Amino acid sequence: MASDEPFGYRLWRYDGAPGELIPLLQSAQDHFGYIPRRAIQHIAGVTGIPESSVYGVITFYNQFRLQPMGKHVIRTCVGTACHVSGSRMLIDAIQDELGIEVGGTTRDGLFTLFTVACLGCCSLAPVMMVNNETHGRLTPASVRRILRGIRRAEERGAAERGARPTP
Amino acid sequence: MKKIVVGMGTCGLSAGAQAVKDRLAALAETHPEAATVGITGCIGMCYREPLVEIREGDVRVIYGGVDPRRAEEIFQRHVLDGEILEEHVIWMRDANGVESGSEMDFLRHQRRIVLRNCGCIDPESIAEYEATGGYEALRKALLEMTPEEIVAEVKASGLRGRGGAGFPTGLKWSFAASQPGPVKYVVCNADEGDPGAFMDRSVLEGDPHSVLEGMIVCSRAIGAHAGYIYCRAEYPLAIRRLQIALEAARERGYLGKDILGSGHAFDVKIKQGAGAFVCGEETALFASIEGERGMPRIRPPFPAEKGLWRKPTNNNNVETYANIPWILTNGAKAYAAFGTEKSRGTKVFALAGKVVRGGLAEVPMGMPIRDLVFQVGGGIKEGRAFKAVQMGGPSGGCIPASLGDTTVDFESIPATGAIMGSGGMVVLDDATCMVEIARFFLDFTQAESCGKCTFCRIGTLRMLEILERITRGEGKPEDLDTLRTLAARIKEASLCGLGQTAPNPVLTTMRYFLDEYEAHIYDKKCPAKSCIALVDFVIDPARCTGCTLCAKQCPVGAISGKPKEVHVIDPAVCVRCGKCLSSCNFGAIYKA
Ligand SMILES: Cc1cc2nc3c(=O)[nH]c(=O)nc-3n(C[C@H](O)[C@H](O)[C@H](O)COP(=O)(O)O)c2cc1C
């Protein structure tokens, strides 16, 4: 995947081939965690595609973010199998536990909550991913336990560093 | 010498296969004389992952639900001491070819053509693919057949596209073949956007070379020299395995300037999708490969004439391509022997929802839905009642249990108002509200509408608002007619399949479950007790521990009770927000 390929390298390697806008945006997002304004300007400059069109492509696709994400990214699956197994209740529990809405980031910058259309682990429904780890057969209670576990680990880490968690 | 094989598809990995494999690899290192450890893709029994198979000669034993501790036990007792741990075997075949095991039924009713190698070979090894006869079809196509003969063979097989519409594949190839060159494209649609479908992912993760081989054969048949696989970015493992496969195929000379000395040149690029359902529609997919917003284009011109970069293009689904090598190797006749008169061959289904054995199953076309749910899928979870299957994702519809004898093929399924779709089959039980399911799919298509056509963009939103109202208990008698009218308009006035099919989930549920709509609208009741605005929340005294958590969560103070004593909810005060239900740690709150 493009993640081990620095954004600058991609840009530098850009040879004017048509159709490279989306891969360029993907590598910018892999690099920065979101697509910052200066990346848009930069990509527009190099490719000659107007900034407005670049922005149009970014907002068309669900994958692209214009805001930085939290340290831990939660993706709850809302595919059909998860939906009929109660994913709505999981989302309610997460929103309640973290005090954020879907798409939002907690004020301490620890968590961002997204939904995804299908993670393809339908037989483990309902499922969520926290960063790259998949958790299956969840209940509202087990979701809260997982989130509290992460928060506790963060607080311990922060206490050891003698500082509060930084966003 | 035994061979230990760990199932490492996404389903296996999310169930913990990596730790199991690491444990086994460490053990094998200390006993190099006893066994080697390899990997394979998904065999389809996702519900029993992680899976570990031990092979010795012709004997195959598969264990299910393996964790690192069980893996150690299997290594000690089976690999080293030669004892089979009967109680954990889910499927096995002994030296006489006799099959047994608790999950034998799941495999017994299947006929695996597309999935022939999934769960058997190491998807990262081209040598293992070749050992099963891989790339023989390509050799035959390039060195023994003319392009016309290839097209004729695919036509004769009766293969129809597996991406949803079921268009005859041979005919499609002949259109692109008849276009003037020299620049043409072969595209593989691996966008798989239907929530609840994961067939293509499993094929790409478990047997990427079969798809690649199908594409190369196609390139020869239509005279194309460049190809693209458009794969959704949510499938990182599939993309990685495809990349490995592409490199190996180039090294072996199956891709490149002069493939197998035939003079034919072809190479393939992978393009990652960026998360837009409509990009599964082929003209939107082309726009996306070209780096634009993925919006569908007007047809005609059809892709065969002006597709990607406005050049003649053949686009097929992953599963369609994966059938091709088998057809060329075994002959069109052998393929056409499976299935029904108009729907030949097999179809892979992703069984999910309230079914006992959720996973991937490939069955001959023409199998009744009921057999798929009960014989292959093992019936309904928790012994509940079979209510319906949802087929075809957001473009499809719900087929009620009373039509369970309907066979899966391109004629019978559309007759019910649903579609075959790409193969997602979500099984629904009596606790599923059909109005809510219709709302769920419309919510999806509404959000995924690209906005080009007014009726699709705004009509679906109006339908969604009505369905939301009905599930909140605020439905009006005229809503049903309004839904029907809107549905007809949207179907008529949309450019692509997204809008043309978006109303299907609503129309089929209204057709078969009108009583549920009426109960919501007139009686303000949800018969399945699913819509929270229309049910009462009740605390089960046997389970309540009096922890007070629900009372603290309740925003309107509807819950009373002393600490350590059973609590009660006052339905007159309750606003049915569901907070208590999701906060209870003891499962003591239920809907009535
Ligand atoms: C909204 C929409 C989404 C689609 N998504 C997919 C998809 O994810 N995968 C796919 O193969 N075909 C999808 N299709 C169908 C394609 O347009 C096209 O018919 C198909 O890829 C052709 O391949 P086939 O002939 O092998 O079936 C979709 C169509 C529509 C209208």
A52 and A86 both lie in a single domain: no
- Within 10 angstroms of residue B173's Cβ, the number of other Cβ atoms is 25
Residues of B in contact with A121 (CB under 8 A): 10-11, 14, 46
| Domain closes at, from A60, A81, A105 | A60
**pLDDT value at residue A166:** 52
Q: For residues B238 and B205, is the Cβ–Cβ distance under 8 A?
A: yes
**pLDDT value at residue A12:** 67
CB–CB of B275 and A62 under 8 A? yes
Which atom number of ligand 1 is nearest to the Cα of residue B167?
25
A77 and A122 both lie in a single domain: yes
* Token digits of residue B461: 């939103």
Smallest Cα–Cα separation from B439: which of B479, B407, B478? B479
**pLDDT value at residue A19:** 86
Q: For residues B437 and B475, is the Cβ–Cβ distance under 8 A?
A: no
Res. A163: pLDDT tops 70: no
In the chain, the amino acid numbered A112 is: T
Place of tokens 């209740």: A89
Q: How far is CA B56 from CA B35, B53, B65, B94, B104, in A?
A: 9, 10, 21, 10, 19
Residue A100 lies in a domain: yes
Q: Provide the domain count of chain A.
A: 2
Q: For residues B65 and B74, is the Cβ–Cβ distance under 8 A?
A: no
Rounded to 5°, angle at Cα A47 from A43 and A51: 55
Residue A22 lies in a domain: yes
3-state secondary structure of A135: strand
DSSP string spanning B353-377? ESBSS-EEEEEETT-BHHHIIIIIT
Residue A141 lies in a domain: yes
A49 and A79 both lie in a single domain: no
* Token digits of residue B200: 């293509």
The residue range of the domain holding A98 is 72-160
**pLDDT value at residue B490:** 97
Domains and CATH numbers, chain B: 2-108 (3.40.30.10), 126-335 (3.40.50.11540), 346-429 (3.10.20.600), 434-523 (1.20.1440.230), 536-591 (3.30.70.20)
Would you give the DSSP letter of residue B493?
A: T
Q: Residue A84 sits in a domain of what CATH number?
A: 3.40.30.10
Give the global pTM: 0.93
3-state secondary structure of B580: helix
Residue A66 lies in a domain: no
Our CA-based measurement puts residue B585 at a distance from the nearest CA of chain A, in whole angstroms, of: 5
**pLDDT value at residue A8:** 72
Nearest-CA residue for atom 2 of ligand 1: B281
* Token digits of residue A20: 């490279």
Would you give the DSSP letter of residue B565?
A: S
A53 and A107 both lie in a single domain: no
User: Phi, psi at residue A129, to the nearest 5°?
Assistant: -110, 135
A77 and A155 both lie in a single domain: yes
Residue B212, ligand 1, Cβ within 6 A:
no
* Token digits of residue B47: 């519900």
Residue A1 lies in a domain: no
**pLDDT value at residue A120:** 72
Give the helix ranges, DSSP H, for B387-478.
412-415, 434-448, 454, 460-471
Partner-chain residue, chosen from A25, A57, A80, that has the shortest CB–CB distance to B353 = A80
Partner-chain residue, chosen from A19, A60, A79, that has the shortest CB–CB distance to B289 = A19
What span, in angstroms and rounded, lies between the C-alpha atoms of A2 and B46? 29
Q: For residues B219 and B225, is the Cβ–Cβ distance under 8 A?
A: yes
A80 and A117 both lie in a single domain: yes
Place of tokens 């692109």: B176
Which residues share a beta bridge with B538?
Answer: B590
Local confidence band at A4 (pLDDT 50, 70, 90 cut-offs): very low
A87 and A50 both lie in a single domain: no
Residue A39 lies in a domain: yes
On the 0-12 / 13-18 / 19+ scale of CB atoms within 10 A, A52 is exposed
CB–CB of B10 and A121 under 8 A? yes
**pLDDT value at residue A122:** 81
Q: What is the ipTM of this complex?
A: 0.87
Chain A residue set in contact with B, beta carbons under 8 Å: 1, 18-23, 25-26, 56-57, 60-64, 78-81, 83-85, 89-90, 92-93, 96, 116-125, 127, 134, 136, 139-141
Partner-chain residue, chosen from B15, B276, B583, that has the shortest CB–CB distance to A60 = B276
Smallest Cα–Cα separation from A88: which of B51, B577, B76, B370? B577
Q: How far away, in angstroms, is B280 Cα from ligand 1 center? A: 5
Report residues of chain B scoring pLDDT below 50.
none
A20 and A78 both lie in a single domain: no
Q: For residues B442 and B460, is the Cβ–Cβ distance under 8 A?
A: yes
Tens of pLDDT along B402-432?
999 999 999 999 999 999 988 999 999 999 9
Smallest Cα–Cα separation from B284: which of B303, B270, B269? B303
**pLDDT value at residue A125:** 86
What span, in angstroms and rounded, lies between the C-alpha atoms of A82 and B235? 18
Smallest Cα–Cα separation from B115: which of B376, B349, B409? B349
**pLDDT value at residue A3:** 44
A79 and A55 both lie in a single domain: no
A102 and A151 both lie in a single domain: yes
Q: Are strands B99-100 and B537-539 parallel, antiparallel or unpaired?
A: unpaired
Partner-chain residue, chosen from B14, B444, B553, that has the shortest CB–CB distance to A136 = B14
Q: How far is CA B467 from CA A21, B399, B416, B434, B460, in A?
A: 38, 19, 22, 11, 10
CB–CB of B195 and A117 under 8 A? yes
Q: How far is CA B575 from CA A99, B283, B581, in A?
A: 20, 47, 13
Residue B191, ligand 1, Cβ within 6 A:
yes
Tens of pLDDT along A83-131?
888 898 899 999 999 999 999 999 999 999 999 887 777 878 899 989 8
Q: Is the peptide bond before B182 cis (omega within 30 degrees of 0)?
A: yes
Which residues share a beta bridge with B397?
Answer: B391
Place of tokens 């041979």: B170
* Token digits of residue B256: 């490149």
Smallest Cα–Cα separation from B433: which of B469, B387, B479? B387
A32 and A95 both lie in a single domain: no
For B119, residues 6+ apart whose C-beta sits below 8 A from its C-beta are: B7, B40, B41, B42, B43, B44, B51, B206
Local confidence band at A2 (pLDDT 50, 70, 90 cut-offs): very low
Tens of pLDDT along B79-90?
999 999 999 999
Residue A47 lies in a domain: yes
Residue A166 lies in a domain: no
**pLDDT value at residue B427:** 95
A153 and A77 both lie in a single domain: yes
Which atom number of ligand 1 is nearest to the Cα of residue B280?
5
**pLDDT value at residue B455:** 96
Residues of B in contact with A22 (CB under 8 A): 271-272, 274, 288, 291
Residues of A in contact with B437 (CB under 8 A): 84
DSSP string spanning B73-101? HHIIIIIIT----GGGEEEEE-TTS-EES
Rounded to 5°, angle at Cα B452 from B460 and A115: 60
